[in-house]
Structure 1
């Protein structure tokens, strides 16, 4: 690793840092790597962004992070900045991708036009819903229906007999339901997820390979990382998400994983998406996470790899 003679000025926009769990927080890992490389790191939350007469601005404080469980960050005094005063913005706000998230990407895009590098690119964050993005790769996904129509949902279940039902804007396994062959609660599940036909939701054929884990495969600047985190459901739970009680198992990716991820990588590069987390069950992609991908800390704790170093090497090259 090389310390730059001209450090970058990096701002990370994230959820409140005091709520972070540093041993598993990828945003903290990014900040630690930025510091190791000699860059200046600043912190902001969504409410700190604004536009003044067409000028994208932010109230931001210098941030220092420490790789420890307690007392792991220090914030300096906040000041007001033109967003384009920074070289790089790391967008690390967790979903949902709601109207406030979308408005933030418009603010970022104003600064992008003046030279700010946003990771991931503002337009991509707007354009590619993490669930719907999978539809760009129909040969790589399980049978999938996106609809608000109850008749279509019932027909899909009748065809596949065992399905997973989920909202398009959730994260961490929130509001994901499995409806088995008996169709128990299919009606109420579809009513809740579609808000009685007012909202689109996603329905996928159940993949028995979930017993071997929901694999998080990371792609950095088009390069597929050689290790992943398999998140295994516990007990009678269907979901492998760590936030839903799943247990993470770091492991090398398979050849199938690598080929699958490599087939998606060129599309990511084309749209300026530098840091991505694929969710893979068996050999099928179920989500393409670009808003705030995680699992770096768990993988780096198990293997001799520095994923954030690869990310910052790509960032530095782009800024240069």
Structure 2
């Protein structure tokens, strides 16, 4: 297959842990060809089709110069067998516009994973609202009084922006309410921006588990991201320690309930974050943790993903 990865700059990849790199490596090992571009290199002009300035690359197997550019060219997105949208959050206006360009490419025959419309319809913090039976006490608001009432009821809470990633902008406020007003002002910008508030889950000491769902089916291992020291955030980007572990019965219950629904909407890959028994987020833009799980548990997640990608592309051709 001819694959196009839409990514952040390759020069910024930390290939020892990067999931997109793991996908590329597995794809190349199977004989698939790889092209890459950034969202800013995708364009459309009336009377034509959605195109991009792409680089055809080969992975070298080296640690530093890990890819070699074979050629740069303009290509129609519909000419690829599969397009993988792997741009990291934030889901800002430019990401939103990119999904519309990709949706036009779909109308022209392109096969995009994850499906652009599904990316728009499943914002990673808010997608949990549909599955309230699996979440803990949660509030979404831009009103400061709503937040204060939530704190009065639950006493120990987590506040976070709706467009954050990697643990950015997450605050914990305990029963004393220390700095609650200042934190609300910081996050809601005087009532101009919505934020999410959740009851603090003490099970975070055992990790914020990333449960991966590929083709509607759960990967049998999660990566528990465990906060270190006095940190409340388990995110790897915030210094959390990743520990691969088999899915629990509750993890399977959640994955079997959410997986088929998400897959039916065009989400080939999703990362469901679970603390204790509760879902806290559903990640669909560029879920990670492939390499950590493979390195620690021996489960080849990249192979499972490329299997699902090949199957999805074959089904579309049929």
Shorter-normalised TM range: over 0.9
Q: Deviations over 1:232-282 (max 9, x none)?
A: 101110000010011111111111111111111121022110101111100
Once residues 151 and 20 of structure 1 are traced to their aligned partners in structure 2, the CA distance between those partners, rounded to angstroms, is 42
**Which residue among 20, 25, 48 is the counterpart of 1:27?**
20
Partner of residue 87, structure 2: 93
User: Separation in 2 of the partners of 1:163 and 1:307?
Assistant: 34
1:188 is displaced (CA, Å) by 1.1
Match of 2:30 in 1: 37
Q: How do residues 178-193 of structure 1 correspond to structure 2 at under 5 angstroms?
A: 178-193=172-187
TM-score by structure 2 length?
0.96
Counterpart Cα distance in 2 of 1:34 and 1:254: 30
Relative to structure 2, which stretch is displaced further, 226-235 or 298-307?
A: 298-307
Tell me by how many angstroms 1:78 deviates. 1.1
In structure 2, how many angstroms separate the alpha carbons of the residues matched to 1:238 and 1:190?
18
1:313 and 2:294 aligned: no
Equivalent runs, 1:123-272 vs 2, <5 Å: 123-272=117-266
Go from structure 1 to structure 2 and tell me whether the alpha carbon gap of 1:232 and 1:68 turns closer, same or farther (over 3 Å shift): farther
Tell whether 2:301 aligns with 1:301. Answer: no
Tell me, in whole angstroms, the C-alpha distance in 1 between the residues paired with 2:143 and 2:16: 43
Unaligned runs of 5+ in 2: none
Gaps of 5+ in 1: 1-7
Which range is displaced more, 229-238 or 73-82? Answer: 73-82
Q: 1:318 Cα deviation (Å)?
A: 2.1
Work out the number of aligned pairs and report it.
313
What is the CA-CA distance between 1:76 and the residue it aligns to? 2.4
**Secondary structure at the residue paired with 1:126?**
helix
Q: Aligned with 1:278: secondary structure? A: strand
3-state SS, counterpart of residue 24 of structure 2: helix
Displaced runs of 4 or more, over 6 A: none
TM-score (norm 1): 0.96
Q: Is the Cα–Cα contact under 8 Å of residues 207 and 224 in structure 2 kept in the other structure?
A: yes
Hey, what's the Cα distance between the residues in 2 that align with 1:311 and 1:128? 20
- 2: CA distance, partners of 1:259 / 1:270: 18
Equivalent pair of 2:89/2:165 in contact (CA under 8 Å) = yes
User: Which whole-Å deviations, capped at 9, do the CAs of 1:82-108 have from their partners, x for residues lacking one?
Assistant: 111111111110000001001111111
Deviation of 1:77 (Å): 2.2
User: 1:315, CA displacement in angstroms?
Assistant: 1.7
